[in-house]
Structure formats: C-alpha cells, structure tokens
Structure 1
C-alpha cells in the first residue's frame, strides 16, 4: 500500500520559543500515514539554506521515501507560528523555493504509477492532477479553508477525495456547499469541523463523525492526521464511516503533543 504525497513543505517556526518543526500539508499526511503502518513517499523541493537538509532528513527519519525530493538554490519555506491557549496561530508565510515549484517529467511519471496521490491548496501541482488521475491513480486534495480558490477550482474535477475545513459546524449552508463541490467530480467530499467532528457527502447521503476525546496540547497537524487516517481506510477498502473514524482516531494522537510531528 503506497500513498504518494506531493507539494508544499515548510518549517513551522515558533517565534515565541525559537523552536522549529518540519511540516507542511502533504508532508504531514505522509508522515502520519507511515505512523499508522502504511508506506508513503513525499515529492517536493527544499532549499540550500539550513532548513533544507533538516527537512529532508527529518522526513526520511519518519520512514517516508524522499527519493523524489529535489534541492534548489534558495530558502526552504517557513511558516511563523504562535501558540495561543493550545491553538496554533499562523503568521507570515515565506514561500522560498516552493514559489516556483513545478513537477519535472520524472516526478510526474513517478506519481502516475502510484496507487493514490495526495496534495493540497499550496502544492503547485493542481494543473497536473488531471493527468495523474487519468493514469489510474486515485487523487486526494486538501482545499484547507478555501475551496473557492483558483487552485482548488482547477483541482476539484480531477479529485476523488476532496477535503476542506470549516469553523461554522454542520449547517444547511455547509451541506449545500459540499453538494455543489461533489457535483464537480469528487467521489466523496469531507468537511472537518474542529471540535465538532467531521461531515462527509458521497452523493447519496451526509455522514457525520464525532471527535475522539483527548487532552489538546497543540492543534498543529490535526487535520492532516485526519486525512491520513481517512485515506488509509480508503486504501484498505473500508466504508466512509470507518474511514472517518480512522481519521478522528489518528487526529487525537497528534493533538496530544507539541508540533506537527
């Protein structure tokens, strides 16, 4: 079983403490997928600064294949973070070498051979997803809080499993938005709702799932953990409710410690 994560990575730099943690949406999903016993790779780019090799080594140390990560002159991406009452507050994002990241032919061919490919809003691969899906790979996309963004608009018709997050809970407006997104191509649309759990729509019904109660230390990576658990369930041919529960259980582990991983 192999999950191929592709796109952005970044160092989460906590300005208040000076600590820095490797992360980034697809990177986190790959790491959490391996933590659950799966096999995963990460495809992307890092810089020649002090964080570049640290990023590559840290991802590899978690058991993720980094053979398709390339290094380019410049800075590795950085997200400035503050921790306020257990919630991470994101500050400035310095994109670095990721600003010009595009897949090489070899990277694209590699992804086309995988069982499932996952990326996100800032991965800069939305224009490649139709080709990857046409080659037979399942495609998952995390639209974060912005499924209306141009990158998400392009990605959605080429996506099998579409994720986004909302702070408004399960409302008629949310359900209407999920139904509209589903009509553009995904098999399943999933909205993560923070401490209110998650909601999925498969074209037939809306399915709710609560959280797994835990002591919250830091919310960094919780949503990515959910996605990893859900996708592992999909690859194991489990039902959507079972996949949602796997996501919630995986998220509860990440919520219990500081930093993404």
Structure 2
C-alpha cells in the first residue's frame, strides 16, 4: 500500500445548531481516509493547545497517523462554522486567529527529507502553504497532489498546475460536462499531470494520458456532504498508487469507481469522520464570516 503525506490544515467543524463539533480539515481528512483504506499516512500540520487540538492529536495517533513533523502550538485550534441544508454542508464562517493561520507550515530541510520518504504528498487551497513551499515539496520528486477546490482562478491554475502531478477541481458549478472537460484540458495544458473533476450528483471526470474517463455518482441520500470531496480524493489516490505498486500501471476507471463508492458511503454519516463531541460555542473566539 502507498504511504501518503498530507500537509496543511486540521480543524474542527462546528455545527452550532446542534452545539457539536466534528474533527476535520482538508489535509487531516485525507490522511484519515487514506488510513481507513489501509494506506500508511502522515499529517504535517499545526495543532493547538486547546481541547480541540489535543483531541485531534489523540485521534490521529489512535488511528495510526504519523504526526512526527506536525507542529504543536499554544493557542486555539482552527475551526469552521457549518450549517446543513437538506444534507448539503454550507460554511458560514471560519476562525480568525487559529494556530494554522498564526503559525502556518513553512517547509524546511527536515520537512522535505521527511516528505521524500512518502509515495505521494497531498495539499490544498486551504493548507496555508505558499507557492514556494509547494514548489519545494514538488522538488522532492514525490508526486504532489493538489486540491484546487471550486473557486480556482486561471491565474492560480497557471501558477500551481506545473507543480501538480495530480490536480482535483470541484466542478459541480460547471453548467455542462463540456465546461468541466475544458477545465481539465486547461489544467493539463498548464502542466498538471492528471486532472480530476468532481461533479456532485453527476459523478466524476478524469483526464489522464490524454484520455477522458467518466464515473457516475452513487445514488445515495446524503446525510452530510462534509468531506465528500476529500474522501473521493483520498480513495482515488490510494487506489491509483496501489495499482501502480502492484501492477506497474493505474486502473483509472477502477480508482474512480472505488472513490465514488467510498465518497458515497462517507456522506451517509455526520461530519467528515462520522463522529463528534459537544462544542462550547462561547469559547470559539473571533469568527471571520464567509
């Protein structure tokens, strides 16, 4: 099985309407899901000294996620405020002074040496990594897998696609399948190796080796779409790299099918990881509305 490193953010998603918080964060999610799928995984992020930070660290260690290069800082963990509308998660605010904002990961020689011991590196638009950090990670020659989310710009694509062996684009907003195909063509023309688009209820699309692949979404009634994209991404990458290790080449359609199934299962539970705990809303601190 591949060994995955996720570099970026771990946080708690706060569902104020039920006064509960759920462990999450783009990169922590990916590391967690990869571990659930049987891969070795590591998380390089910033965890606070508060109850949420201690909880995230404990859960990761119990799961078997390596935190060797994570940072532990005095201060409040990052959080996001969430509402649910018919199962669709909606972000309404984020922490203003979380530890990942105050002390973002900056990749030094020891971090890069650690990264080079993995089979793939995952980061995202939310990671707080600078382009120079992403370039340094890509410079280890370990495939960099970057999640552009849904509000990517042409400028960001031109800047970051040359660094990305794999790029994920949330294209549920695209009006047609051809519009999503155009996004993936542009990504590859800018230097992205393999480009992946999630299309919400329409499934997914991959451009690999100059060929398009499609896969429908599972017909499930979503309880909570939190973590849907991260779970798809983790399962797609784990299966891709497992096939390369086992057979010398990826089964693109098989990776998409496994990713769709895993994401479909994930949205049938609450929160990114399926469990939460009571939240002290008065202790959240400053909030930046979205």
Same topology, TM > 0.5? yes
Q: Radius of gyration: which is bigger?
A: 2
1:136 equivalent to 2:141? Answer yes
**Helix, strand or coil for the counterpart of 2:5?**
strand
Q: Deviating runs (4+, > 3 A) in structure 1? A: 149-154
C-alpha distance in 2 between matches for 1:92 and 1:149:
25
1:90-129 to 2 correspondences below 5 Å: 90-95=91-96, 96-99=98-101, 100-105=103-108, 106-125=110-129, 126-129=131-134
1:226 equivalent to 2:206? Answer no
What is residue 155 of structure 1 aligned with on the other side?
A: 160
Unmatched 5+ residue regions in structure 2? 245-249, 274-290
**CA positional deviation for 1:104:** 4.4
| 208-217 vs 193-202, greater mean Cα deviation | 208-217
Comparing both chains, which one has the higher relative contact order based on Cα–Cα distances under 8 Å and sequence gaps of 6 or more?
Answer: 2
C-alpha distance in 2 between matches for 1:255 and 1:169:
23
C-alpha distance in 2 between matches for 1:108 and 1:47:
23
CA RMSD of aligned residues (A): 1.7
What is residue 58 of structure 2 aligned with on the other side?
A: 57
C-alpha distance in 2 between matches for 1:147 and 1:51:
30
What is residue 211 of structure 1 aligned with on the other side?
A: 217
TM-score by length of 2: 0.85
Aligned residues: 261
C-alpha distance in 2 between matches for 1:116 and 1:152:
20
Unmatched 5+ residue regions in structure 1? none
1:111 to 1:210, Cα distance in 2 relative to 1, 3 A: same
**CA positional deviation for 1:8:** 1.2
